[in-house]
């Protein structure tokens, strides 16, 4: 079927505003990951979801960041009270299962700019 | 703690010449190693992975990588570079035990010159 999709593709917001980023994984994929890609800093793990298990939130940089995954499918990453250092590309990836041997399929990302 | 190092921010190579993009890692337990490529304005695409078995892994677009346990390296190679190989390359590692967290390197920009 279709690949991983993310929306919006670009988001410009003012400092202090809240933003929501959406990820639609590949149908049937049970694991979903969020990453942040900042210039010169590679991909930073944020959070992952696996089925109905509790998510691993260990990569979230502050309590302003949260994510949920409804019905084991669509995920939303929320950033409250955005700061300029939140500006980055936010990437979502899904895999069929988390055996570690499975390929992650990435979405095109959401470019967030905080003014 | 897991970590990945890509010591070169950029690699330049002439078209037709062999290319190498370096990656070293640190992980407890056995490593699962991956290479991804990111073309301009596109998402990351899987190239190849090492899980177990033969140390030389072959992947998409003619790329290959060699797992070297003693040197904790997983360098990406291609015998003859193409201009279309110009992109940003990321190495990633996951431990075979415990967390399902993947750690990515900072990326190496490959520029193939015509």
pLDDT in tens, B60-101: 999 999 999 999 999 999 999 999 999 999 999 988 776 778
From the number of C-beta atoms within 10 Å of its C-beta (0-12, 13-18, 19+), residue A13 rates as middle
For residue A33, give the nearest of A20, A18, A44, A17 by alpha carbon: A44
For residue A31, give the nearest of A82, A83, A88, A92 by alpha carbon: A92
What CATH number should be reported for the domain holding residue B20? 2.60.40.10
**Does A1 score more than 60 pLDDT?**
no
pLDDT at A99: 60
Partner residue facing B105 (CB), from A42, A98, A101: A42
Three-state secondary structure call for residue A85: helix
Q: Are strands B108-113 and B10-14 parallel, antiparallel or unpaired?
A: parallel
Range of the domain at B82: 3-113
Mutation target among B44, B45, B51 for the A interface, most CBs of A within 10 A:
B44
The per-residue pLDDT for range A28-63, each reduced to its tens digit, is: 888 899 999 987 678 899 999 988 888 999 999 999
The per-residue pLDDT for range A74-88, each reduced to its tens digit, is: 999 999 999 999 999
How many structural domains compose chain B?
1
> Are the beta carbons of A106 and B45 separated by less than 8 Å?
yes
Does domain A5-102 correspond to CATH entry 2.60.40.10?
yes
- What mean pLDDT do residues B47-70 have? 93
**Does A101 score more than 70 pLDDT?**
no
Element (H, E) at B25: strand B24-26
């Amino acid at each position: 079927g279709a690949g991983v999709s993310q929306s919006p593709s670009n988001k410009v917001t003012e400092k202090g505003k809240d933003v929501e980023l959406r990820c639609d994984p590949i149908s049937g994929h049970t694991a979903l990951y969020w990453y942040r890609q900042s210039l010169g800093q590679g991909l930073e793990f944020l959070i992952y979801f696996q089925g109905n298990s509790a998510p691993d939130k260990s990569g979230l940089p502050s309590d302003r960041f949260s994510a949920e995954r409804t019905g084991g499918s669509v995920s939303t990453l929320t950033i409250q009270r955005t700061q300029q250092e939140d500006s980055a590309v936010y990437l979502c990836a899904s895999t069929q299962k988390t055996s570690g041997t499975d390929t992650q399929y990435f979405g095109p990302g959401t470019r967030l700019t905080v003014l | 703690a897991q970590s990945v190092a890509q010591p070169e921010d950029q690699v330049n190579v002439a078209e037709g010449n062999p290319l190498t993009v370096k990656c070293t890692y640190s992980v407890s337990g056995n490593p699962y190693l991956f290479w991804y490529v990111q073309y301009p304005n596109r998402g990351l695409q899987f190239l190849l992975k090492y899980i177990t078995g033969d140390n030389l892994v072959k992947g998409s677009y003619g790329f290959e990588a060699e797992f070297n346990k003693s040197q904790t390296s997983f360098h990406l190679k291609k015998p003859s570079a193409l201009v279309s190989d110009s992109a940003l390359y990321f190495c990633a590692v996951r431990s075979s035990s415990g967390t399902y967290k993947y750690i990515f390197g900072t990326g190496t920009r490959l520029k193939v010159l015509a």
